[in-house]
Amino acid sequence: MDIEQQFQAYAADFELAYADDDWSRVAPHFRHDASYDAGDGSDIAFGRDAILQKFKSAVDGLDRQMDQRDLTLHSISSSGDVVTANWTIRFSRESLPTLEVSGSEVARFSDSQIIELRSVINEESLVAFAAWMESHGASL
């Protein structure tokens, strides 16, 4: 399996974990010493367990507060040991405007596992997200 296929397997398991809250299914995709930068200014998670906790906390804090979450994967490419996936995610909740965020996931692989994962949220989305949270975050 090449690294693009490995990334797609990770992404599929992430969506399953999102659905059933069993984050252990994502663990095998990460090296024990991996790191994750969510791209939102929060602390970087170091180690597989910290990464899984960060995923759960992020999903519980925003995604699960919404009525609907729609993820569109635009493209996946690779160069050497790095995969880049470009995406847009839309969140909706009754009586609130839709929140749309775009960016990319950059995953570096080592020994068929992710050693480094970074979310790179585009600047326009960061500004829109901050404004949305300022206006509507208290209602979540």
- For domain 3-139, the CATH class is alpha beta
When pLDDT is averaged across residues 87-98 and rounded to a whole number, the result is: 96
The 45-46 sheet, strands edge to edge? 45-46, 30-37, 113-121, 96-110, 82-93, 68-79
List pLDDT tens digits, range 119-138.
999 999 999 999 999 999 88
- For residue 41, the model assigns a pLDDT of 82
**132: its two tokens:** 């949305």
- For residue 42, the model assigns a pLDDT of 87
Amino acid at 129: F
Specify the DSSP element, H or E, that contains 110. strand 96-110
List pLDDT tens digits, range 11-21.
999 999 999 99
pTM: 0.92
Let me know how long the chain is.
Answer: 140
Q: How many CB atoms lie within 10 A of CB 107?
A: 28
When pLDDT is averaged across residues 39-61 and rounded to a whole number, the result is: 94
